[in-house]
Structure 1
Amino acid sequence: MSDLDIALCDASIGDTPAERNFRREVDASLTAFKLSVDEQPPWPTADGEWAYDAAVITGSQTAVYDHETWMETLAELLRDLHELDIPLLGVCWGHQFIAQTFGGCVSAMDEYELGYQQIERYDSSPLFADFPAEFIAFETHSDEVVRLPPNATELAGNSRSCQAFSLGTAYGVQFHPEYDLKTVKMVTDGKREEGVSESVVETVLTSATPSQHTKTQTAKRVFENFLSIVEQHQ
């Protein structure tokens, strides 16, 4: 495990496997803050020091444009951290939230992107160091970044959505590199209650096999690469 201290901003609602998944995949010391119950990371000190080396923002069952009080507080914190050049990584909802916070636009899609999807890498960013030109990752989202923040660079995408971007030392990925197979099945099964058709849910569940999930190992490298970015930034 690296010596880095990471603030895990858990945006999920209720009892979810988010914290467990990130602790398994991120090889650093994580301090988790459950944002929806008003657990927020500390603010930077007056002289610009912060208790952590970086922040990771998780997925959520909410929409970034819901404008809950805890979201407004998180946005203020991320702006301060970005001004101090503290590295940030957002995953799914976190990706969308970082984009919106810094001037991008997020809106609803016509239908879910759900399942194992192929993603094309556009840029040679260090976040995708040692990645092939195309890779497989698991997706589950019904909102997307439709306009990036000013001066941001799109790093990856597919026919459905922007899949990754960077803005200085802030990064976002739409896909879920932290999911294990158990989470894939649980999340997919739960989409029935959100109006996803039975046929789509069953198709994705059928595809959720150990051999298929092994193909997402490449996507998980974003965590290792992000920690390398944080280390080099210190």
Structure 2
Amino acid sequence: MKIMILETGLVPPPIRADFPDYPQMLRDLIQPVAPEFIFSRHDVMDGSFPALDEADGFLITGSPAGVYEDHVWMEGLFDFIRKSAQAKIPQVGICFGNQAIAHAFGGRVIKSPLGWGLGRHSYDIQQTPDWWTGDQTEFALVVSHKDQVVEPAAGSKIIARSDFAPYAALYYPDAPALSFQGHPEFNDDYAAALYNVRRGNPLSDEDVDAAIASLQRPQHNTRVASWIADFFRSASGN
């Protein structure tokens, strides 16, 4: 199965030489649980988008951008998401990707009055599709976001939530699409480095220290990677 990763954001310059870029992080996450997947990538930040027949599924990365911001590629991305859904090509969104898919389908995304989500967050599973594996009732991921979905799009199903993020994982059976607000592709070293880059602007020392301390709690990156792989397989009929 050919999965194309749509790159919508970059690792911050101060740590760019120390870590892989976001498409590579996602490939490193998913490839071990889906060795048959063939990954490619496309940088959409120049306003260009792939043809729909270039892949069997699309995966949208995280980004520091907000869906309400005026970037040359933003409306093109929303249009691409809708066209992919019309063609029944499965899509997965991570963090910004979660927000972009919701916005493209008519949901509402804002800069949350709750402030920044940082560190390891746990989410309660609300319901699961037929293709979902395992009987877990929760999962935990690294997060780094101030924007979030506050009104889901019509037809979406809430897979997981928390008090901080009521729409932390969404499934769109008719699209089909699946999205997570958290970052299963971030390891703890990268998360800590990212928080430290933002120490003082826009994050306080207290927030950064608390976020890094929370990384000692268990994470479920591989579990989420398996769900993403199972979604792609199921949506493609494999």
SS in 2 for 1:177: coil
The alpha-carbon deviation at position 79 of structure 1 amounts to: 1.1
Distance in 2, Cα, partners of 1:215 & 1:149: 26
User: Does 1:59 find its partner at 2:62?
Assistant: yes
Q: 1:229 aligns with which of 218, 234, 237?
A: 234
Contact 1:126 1:229 in 2 (8 A): no
Higher RCO (CA < 8 A, seq sep 6+): 2
SS in 1 for 2:149: strand
Structure 2 equivalent of residue 79 of structure 1: 82
**Range 91-100 or range 149-158, more displaced:** 149-158
User: Does 1:88 find its partner at 2:91?
Assistant: yes
**Range 107-116 or range 180-189, more displaced:** 180-189
Q: TM-score with structure 1 length normalisation? A: 0.87
Distance in 2, Cα, partners of 1:31 & 1:213: 30
Structure 1 equivalent of residue 34 of structure 2: none
User: Does 1:190 find its partner at 2:193?
Assistant: no
Amino acid at match of 1:221: S
Distance in 2, Cα, partners of 1:136 & 1:113: 13
User: Does 1:165 find its partner at 2:170?
Assistant: yes
The alpha-carbon deviation at position 116 of structure 1 amounts to: 0.6
Distance in 1, Cα, partners of 2:156 & 2:214: 34
Unmatched runs of 5 consecutive residues or more in structure 2: 32-36
Q: Quote the RMSD (CA, aligned, Å).
A: 2.0
SS in 1 for 2:134: coil
User: Does 1:7 find its partner at 2:7?
Assistant: no
Cα deviation per residue 1:172-201 (whole Å; 9 max; x = unaligned)?
111111112222112221232542210110
User: Does 1:199 find its partner at 2:203?
Assistant: no
Contact 2:141 2:219 in 1 (8 A): no
Size of the alignment, in residue pairs? 222
Distance in 2, Cα, partners of 1:215 & 1:170: 21
Cα deviation per residue 1:44-70 (whole Å; 9 max; x = unaligned)?
3xxxxx121000001001111113121
**Range 91-100 or range 20-29, more displaced:** 20-29
User: Does 1:220 find its partner at 2:229?
Assistant: no
Distance in 2, Cα, partners of 1:196 & 1:166: 31
The alpha-carbon deviation at position 112 of structure 1 amounts to: 0.4
Q: 2:102 aligns with which of 99, 104, 111?
A: 99
